[in-house]
Chain A
Amino acid sequence: MTAETLAGAEADPRRRLRVLASQEALLAIAVIGLAIVVGLYNPRFLAARNLSDVLLGNAYIAVAAVGMSMVIISGNIDISVGALIGVLATISGTLAVNGAPIVVAWLAALVAGVVVMALQGVIIAYLRIPAIVVTLGMLSVLKGGLISVTGGKWITDLPDSFHLADIELFGALPFPVFLMILVTILAALWMRYSASGRAIYAVGGSAEAARLCGISHPRTIVMVFALHGLFAGAAALLYATQLRVIQSTVPPNLELTIITASVVGGVSILGGVGTVVGSTLAAVLIAEIASALVFIDVSPYWIRAVQGVLILVTVIADILRRRRMAGA
């Protein structure tokens, strides 16, 4: 980060190139470029209805990817978030159907999300068990628990007021899109300008150096996971309220889509680097690709493979770029 700024200060033209070549700019270009190319092939892709459906239906992935990005920047990983979103959606829906005040149903998802993730954070940070083991275990606990408690029964007859996703702000801006933008901007500002936000980068970059600077490593990790739980709760609400039913199952491979968004958004898996602006753009790009497949007559069954290739390419590019910078 600092090295980049210094190099930029020395050679101004190169700095402008850097900005253009940043992950966020590349993603924004990709999002627009893809829309144009697919639009030329099939103009129906560019219909306002389709584009807004793509954004609406996938805003929850971007919201969850903000939390995931923090987790990865802090040098950890979480593969339980997809299962958690399924559980939180079910909790919230069950409460709403059984006559709890709607606000309580909404808050329950947020609180439960924070509790589950903070618990994982404590196990990871204080008991020093690798995040992959803890979250893999939690994934199966949540997934198995959800199906055995609900039997996979769908929740229907949700009260109309429950549907957050239906709200439109200023007459035109759908709430999920608004929340996606708001969460991204707030998180980006917080991570860039506040001490506690910067601590996430410090811990992920070098745990030892962070400790010497007086940053509590375990406390930062628990904070990151608790926030991640909060975003997962918000994502679960968007997910639960966009359809008229809640399926009471774990959305298959949702965690992979969320991780893909974070990684493709430029969050380095080696920790310490990345922004949530990138992850939100990447979430939009991935949703756009999934939609584009249909419009260019490619079976949507290929979307998972596309995601795999995207992660692979970004990760390899990230590592090669770092190596070149270290070598230069």
Chain B
Amino acid sequence: MSEIPLPQAAKRVVPWWLLRHETMLAMILLIALIVLGGFNNRFLTLDNLLNQGRLTTEVGLIALPMTFIIITGGIDLSVGSIVGLCAILLGYSWKIFGLPLPLAICFSLLVGAAAGFLNGIVITKVKVPPLIMTIATLALYRGLAEGISQARSVRGYPEWFYFVGQENLFGVPAQLWLLLIAIVVAAIVLDRTTFGRTLYAIGNNETAARFSGLPVDRVKLIVYTLSGLMAGLSACVLVSRVTTTRSDMGIGYELDVIAAVVLGGTSIFGGVGTIWGTVVGLAMIQLLKNGLALTGVKGDATIVVIGTVLIFSTLVASSLQRRREGV
């Protein structure tokens, strides 16, 4: 990113990596862990931490492509609705249309990808701003989920389907492996491939990226499709964990996802961000929820905290950025 070592930076006593957003955040995370652990001895146990990993997977899977999207300067508010739509279609294609469950899972993933593709195609071809396009599909996809399900739920899935959501693999929650693999792949893609670097180029200056011959539209189309696909995957993991399908699944996911990404240092203005930051942001948000819950704060109050954290982390990040730019 923009961390070109300036001459005076070399004279600083503090090494540069210590001042990075991710490092500072990781340190705050560590302190928060210790403090919360001190308040409650159930908090800092391996069991609890692994369980929190299980709970964060659904949001985490979506936060990775959201990092890509926000780096390009876009946003996707429809992810929660895509989760709802995919969950409903998973249940319905299995129970009502009688597809075998593996096929139903594929179908639901396909629908997720198609939903993301629709976002991407309208954003790139018609040039509708991502914010408005995804507000429209936030309504549309949730509306389809509600219309198709008619507020009925689907349950009674076969036993094997619950493996991903509820069992352990090598002592770690099964879906956490999914998230770990996705994190590694996303980090490599963002950091080490032309595709990943193109995302930064688009976010920094889309016109310049276009004139440099970068396939701007194609890359954007891919990230929005990916976002839909991962929301579909997240829906399958969610259904597997909670064993039922309802049309209100995934409501409010966009808040958790965007909060995690922005807290992780990805600039809402585009051009800046890392997967590692998002991972730390995710951990912060989940531990905040869990820590507050263990100290007796109710679930509704935790979204107050997440909302506040979202606003403040953006405030701090943008004022830091303004100072760095030397105004």
Binding site for B on A (CB under 8 A): 77, 79, 123, 127-130, 132-134, 136-141, 143-145, 147-148, 253, 256, 259-260, 263, 269-270, 299, 301-309, 311-312, 315-316, 319-320
Contacts and interface: CB of A to CB of B under 8 A. Distances in A.
Interface stretch (B140-148, B171-179, B191-199, B224-232): B140-148
Nearest to B151: A301
A130 B268 contact: yes
Nearest to A268: B132
B301 A148 contact: yes
Contacts of A308: 136-144
A219 to B, nearest CB: 20
Interface in B284-320: 298, 300-308, 310-311, 314-315, 318-319
A133 B132 contact: no
Contacts of A316: 122, 126, 128
A141 B302 CA distance: 9
Given A132-B131, A133-B314, A316-B128, 8 more contacts: A148-B304, A260-B139, A269-B132, A299-B147, A304-B139, A304-B140, A307-B140, A312-B136
Interface in B244-302: 252, 254-255, 258-259, 262, 268-269, 298, 300-302
Interface string B56-88: 000000000000000000010100000000000
Given A303-B143, A308-B136, A308-B140, A141 B307 contact: yes
B9 interface: no
Given A137-B308, A299-B150, A301-B151, A77 B143 contact: no
Contact of B140 (A136, A145, A299, A305): A305
Contacts of B138: 256, 308
A312 B141 CA distance: 12
Contacts of B122: 312, 316
Contacts of B300: 143-145, 147-148
Given A132-B75, A133-B311, A136-B254, A141 B304 contact: yes
B317 to A, nearest CB: 9
Contact of B298 (A140, A148, A270, A311): A148
Nearest to B139: A308
A259 B135 contact: yes
Contact of A141 (B127, B262, B308, B314): B308
B98 interface: no
B133 interface: yes
Interface of B: 75, 77, 122, 126-129, 131-133, 135-144, 146-147, 149-151, 252, 254-255, 258-259, 262, 268-269, 298, 300-308, 310-311, 314-315, 318-319
B306 A302 contact: no
Contacts of A136: 254-255, 258, 307, 310
Contacts of B255: 136, 139-140
A301 B301 contact: no
Nearest to B136: A311
B126 A138 contact: no
A127 to B, nearest CB: 6
A133 B151 contact: no
User: Which residue, A137, A139, A312, has most C-beta atoms of chain B within 10 A?
Assistant: A137
B275 to A, nearest CB: 20
Contacts of B141: 308
Q: Which 6 A-B pairs have the closest CB atoms?
A: A308-B140, A305-B143, A304-B143, A140-B307, A144-B303, A308-B139
A138 B308 CA distance: 8
Nearest to A305: B143
Nearest to A143: B303
Contacts of B144: 305, 308
Contacts of A312: 122, 133, 136-137, 140
A211 to B, nearest CB: 17
B303 A140 contact: yes
B137 A302 contact: no
Nearest to A128: B318
B139 A311 contact: yes
A137 B150 contact: no
Interface centre among B133, B304, B306 (most CB of A within 10 A): B304
A115 to B, nearest CB: 16
Contact of A144 (B139, B254, B304): B304
A256 B135 CA distance: 8
A319 B126 contact: yes
Contacts of A148: 298, 300-301, 304
Nearest to B317: A129
A14 B318 CA distance: 49
A260 B126 CA distance: 19
Given A140-B303, A148-B300, A299-B147, A134 B129 contact: no
Nearest to B75: A132
A254 to B, nearest CB: 12
Given A123-B311, A127-B315, A260-B139, A301 B304 contact: no
A132 to B, nearest CB: 6
B110 to A, nearest CB: 19
Contact of A129 (B128, B149, B311): B311
A116 to B, nearest CB: 13
Contacts of A260: 139
